[in-house]
Amino acid sequence: MMKNKWIIGLIIVMLLMTTACGGQNQGAQEKEKVVFSLDWFPNTNHTGVYVAQAKGFFDEEGLDVTIIQPGEGTAEQLVASGSAQFGISYQESTTFARAEGMPVVSIAAVIQNNTSGFMSLAEKGILTPADFEGKKYGGWGSPIEIATLEYLMKQVGADINLVEIVTIGDIDFFAASRAGDIDFAWVYEGWSVIEAELNGYDIHYMDLGKEAEVFNYYTPIMITSEKLINENEALVEKWMRAVVKGYQFAIENPQEAAEILLEEVPELDTALVHASQVFLAQEYQKDASYWGYQSLETWERYNQWLYENGFIDTMIDSEAAFTNRFVQ
């Protein structure tokens, strides 16, 4: 009799264990799968997402997140098609996408101000847009670059036709500049300018947003699709709760956040990541009341410039292009 009771008890324990394990497996299976597309190679603009992954913030929301880099398609195309639920974009790219019928929506400004501008070696003597004349600009072949240069130069009476524009792609800026292949390029202060300082290069940096207010637009931003917001708003809320925690952690703990990014992407330069993270910790939220905030004024100001310069045929509805509802 005692033996039978022991056997029955063992069976009950095994059944309970099996049920518990099955419940755990079911819970794991029930995690909602999410694909997140970067805009470029992983860098400190993306740290908040990597922190959310490493710290378990996505797990807390029941999300199984895969981070990808865009291949043939852009982040906007991937998000619009549903191949990715979320991605990193820029205000101008989102404006272009919406103008072309791709209903992507910005749900957070990753950085409050445009921290990009024009960098040159100090020996080139490029101190103002007037100094662009007679110099070689190394870019990525976008018409918007030329229009931006032209706008800045016109403000000081300079002629864009006196600038030699070459497409350089991802070549090393410093090697190309020293060789005379280029004289200046459009870079992110939080990455390339810091890289220059760490390597002892004497450079001059021209802050784009400070040169002209119209260029203090949102870059980068986080996007999703109108379809996902309409059909699965709960998923967007879960994603953003985790991401907000991730960026808030990066703001408050830049050194630890840098280590998290380096653990996930060990091929990055350690000193550069740490220095960049300290810089961006002050820039992610800046003077906004909360991380991710976007203003209608900023969207309309730059979209108007894009329209006036012929990059879009009609003005898009700026209010429909972004929302703060998921970061407030």
Count of helices and strands (H, E) across the chain:
15, 10
> What distance in Å separates the CA atoms of residue 186 and residue 164, rounded to the nearest whole number?
14
* Better pLDDT: 328 or 163: 163
If asked whether residues 222 and 311 sit together in one domain, one would say yes
Give the model's confidence band at 6: pLDDT under 50 very low, under 70 low, under 90 confident, else very high: very low
Encode pLDDT of 289-308 as tens digits: 999 999 999 999 999 999 99
User: Is the per-residue pLDDT at 1 higher than 80?
Assistant: no
Q: What CATH number does the domain containing 156 carry?
A: 3.40.190.10
- Looking at the DSSP bridge assignments, the partners of residue 64 are 33
Same domain, 86 and 230: yes
| Position 22 in a domain | no
Q: How many domains does the chain have?
A: 2
- Of 159, 188, 215, which residue constitutes the final position of a domain? 215
Do 109 and 234 have their domain in common? yes
Local confidence band at 29 (pLDDT 50, 70, 90 cut-offs): low
What is the average per-residue pLDDT within 125-141?
96
Give me the mean pLDDT over the 23-41 stretch: 76
Per-residue pLDDT tens for 164-215? 999 987 778 999 999 999 999 999 999 999 999 999 999 999 999 999 999 9
What's the pTM value of the predicted model, to 2 decimals? 0.88
Q: Which of 215, 248, 263 is the last residue of a domain?
A: 215
The answer on 289 and 235 residing in a single domain is: yes
196/243 same-domain check: no
| Residue 311 covered by a domain | yes
In single-letter form, the type of residue at position 134 comes to G
226: left (phi over 0), alpha (psi -120 to 50) or beta: alpha
Q: In this structure, is residue 76 part of a structural domain? A: yes
pLDDT tens by residue, 206-218: 999 999 999 999 9
How far apart (Å, rounded) are the C-alpha atoms in residues 311 and 143?
Answer: 9
Residue-number span of the structural domain to which 176 is assigned: 116-215
- Assess if residue 26 is contained within a domain: no
The pLDDT value given to residue 73: 85
In the sheet where 32-37 sits, what is the strand order? 63-68, 32-37, 86-89, 221-225, 104-109
Q: Does 159 lie in the same domain as 88?
A: no
pLDDT digits (tens, 9 = 90+) for 243-266: 999 999 999 999 999 999 999 999
Cis omega (within 30 of 0) on the bond before 220? yes
Q: Is the separation of the CB atoms in 249 and 188 below 8 Å? A: no
Answer yes or no: do 102 and 230 share one domain. Answer: yes
Question: What is the CA angle 178-184-186, rounded to 5?
Answer: 130
What pLDDT, on the 0 to 100 scale, is given for residue 268? 97
From 215, 233, 255, give the residue that closes a domain. Answer: 215
Cβ atoms < 10 Å from Cβ of 164: 13
The 10s digit of each residue's pLDDT in 36-83 is: 999 989 999 999 999 999 999 999 999 999 999 988 789 999 999 999
Same domain, 109 and 194: no
Handedness of CA 181, 183, 188, 192 (dihedral sign): positive
Burial string for 85-110 (b: 16+ CB within 10 Å, else e) reads bbbbbbbbbbbbbbbeebbbbbbbbb
Do residues 224 and 206 both lie within one domain? no
- Identify which of 95, 47, 62 has the alpha carbon closest to the alpha carbon of residue 238: 62
Between the alpha carbon of residue 26 and those of residues 12, 23, 31, 59, the distances in Å are 21, 5, 9, 14
Q: Is residue 70 part of a domain?
A: yes
